[in-house]
Chain A
Amino acid sequence: MKRIIVIVFFAVAAALALSGCAEIFNAVFDTGAPSGVSASDGDNANSVDVSWGAPNLSSEKWKGKRVDYYKVTWSFAGGSSGSGTASSTSYSVPALDSDRAKVCSVTVQTYISGWGEGSASDDGFALLTEELLWLDGGALHTVAGSDVWYVTMLQRGFTYSFDFGAPGTGSVTFYDYKNITTPEAAFSGLPRVDWLCNTTGNWYKYYVHVTPASVGTSVTASFGW
């Protein structure tokens, strides 16, 4: 019977830890982990801002103890990684130009009496964006670098077009605002992209990632229905 109880206990613990319920796991097992770790999603071009809540150390387990510091560890997918310490409940993770638009996994671990205790994580990203304005009759936009990320609002039911001016071609990818992992629509290698917006984005806001095939190509953005 004891063996069954131990197995069930570990099964529940493993399920909680593996199923993304880290907050619940930390709360149930009183790990001293920071609460509500939040990494910014594209708010800055050169950093990912991380904030969290102090752990609850009111239980008997932590009696008389306090947080020494927090260790912040990060890794950009296919980019740089590093770590730092914070005495308060926020930290700014530096992002190189090459780290932009890459998902950054951030873990914050609590150090109490010199020992590393519980930790919690979140994903964020750094992004350099421009606002994309929709002018009547279309507007020519010059892409200064190899690509550009726009922030804009799109009307469901309208068609949004990007014309690279044949023979020029390019790629256009639409993402919900604050999300660069799952595109709503993606087009590549075309002289002209027409997308009938059939979603509502994140409160109707979107990122539009435009990559001309040749650096310095201009693109005409227009809308219709």
Chain B
Amino acid sequence: MRPIRALALILAVSVTAQGLAAEIFSPWSDGRARLGLDLSLGTPSGLKDVFRSAFPGVSLRYLATRNFEFSLDYAYLEMSYYYPTSPSGPWAGPVPWSSVPASFSGMRTDWLFYQTRHFLAPQAWYVGSLEEALGLPLDLRVGLGPALTLVVPSEALKYYPSLADAVANFSSTFKAYLGLSFHAGLGWHPTDWFRLGAEYLFVVDSPFDVMTELWRDPLGWVERSGNLVLTAGVRL
């Protein structure tokens, strides 16, 4: 590459980066950052579970500039159950309640042998307005950050050693404790203080596995591994 071309390229990249930085860090008109609170509903597995099951969540948001946000997202993913296959063991699980044997039916509300799964993710967001382009109060939203999946067993673990063994066995094969989460979606804000959104969330615990699956069946992976998340929130 000739020096003049290299210089032009550096200049172009620099100007673009400056423009992007200026947009991301452009403050609110009154110079005051906003706070937000979103409630959400997500599907455990992409588009397949939209009408079958959902997990609730909540996000606290700090809108540093018009285009840049931080959030702390929490979601209660699921409750799953363990059960003794006979009085002399072994224990099975974790399974949804529908897979627990019928001999325990009617005990669900008092069932001691369970674990809950929780999702906690601090995220950084880029919010790009589509209002000028589309004439609608729409935003393009992209978020990225670490994701922590927590498995919390019930206190009964302490008193039923075989339950403890079953939970430990599950935990040793459960991979997504610490991963990377990626959001992409659209937000609609009919007023300054209210917004609705639809996002796709991916939690990646092993980049190598993801690359392999994406290579093999990209659409299948998106459908299986993503979570469709619908949000409604307020901005203060």
Contact = CB atoms under 8 A, between A and B. Distances in A.
Interface of A: 131-137, 152-153, 155-157, 200, 204-205, 222-225
Nearest to B164: A133
A136 B155 contact: no
Contact of A136 (B87, B113, B156): B87
3 closest A-B pairs by CB: A136-B89, A137-B88, A224-B87
A117 to B, nearest CB: 43
B89 A137 contact: yes
Contacts of A133: 159-161
Interface in B59-90: 84, 87-90
A158 B161 CA distance: 17
Contacts of B159: 131-134, 152-153
Given A133-B159, A135-B161, A153-B155, A225 B87 contact: yes
Contacts of A135: 161-162
B103 interface: yes
B231 to A, nearest CB: 34
Interface of B: 84, 87-91, 103-104, 106-107, 110-113, 155-156, 158-162
A153 B107 contact: no
Given A136-B88, A225-B87, A204 B110 contact: yes
A225 B103 CA distance: 8
A204 B107 CA distance: 13
Nearest to B86: A136
Contacts of A136: 84, 87-91, 162
A153 B111 CA distance: 11
A148 to B, nearest CB: 15
A225 B104 contact: yes
5 contacts: A137-B89, A153-B112, A153-B155, A156-B107, A200-B110
B104 A157 contact: yes
Given A152-B159, A157-B104, A225-B103, A137 B87 contact: yes
B114 to A, nearest CB: 11
Contact of A155 (B90, B103, B106, B113): B113
A135 B88 CA distance: 8
Nearest to A155: B112
A155 B111 CA distance: 7
A156 B107 CA distance: 7
Given A133-B159, A136-B89, A155-B110, 10 more contacts: A134-B159, A135-B162, A136-B90, A137-B89, A153-B156, A155-B112, A156-B107, A157-B106, A200-B110, A204-B110
B91 to A, nearest CB: 8
B156 to A, nearest CB: 5
A216 B34 CA distance: 69
A97 B84 CA distance: 39
B112 A204 contact: yes
Nearest to A136: B89
A222 to B, nearest CB: 7
Contacts of B106: 157
Contacts of A137: 87-89
B158 A131 contact: yes
Query: A133, A134, A136, A156: which has the most chain B beta carbons within 10 Å?
Result: A136
Contacts of B89: 136-137
A141 to B, nearest CB: 13
Contacts of A155: 107, 110-113, 156
Contacts of A156: 107, 110
Nearest to A222: B87
A122 B162 CA distance: 40
B105 to A, nearest CB: 10
A183 B112 CA distance: 21
A136 B89 CA distance: 5
A137 B85 CA distance: 12
B188 to A, nearest CB: 43
B87 to A, nearest CB: 4
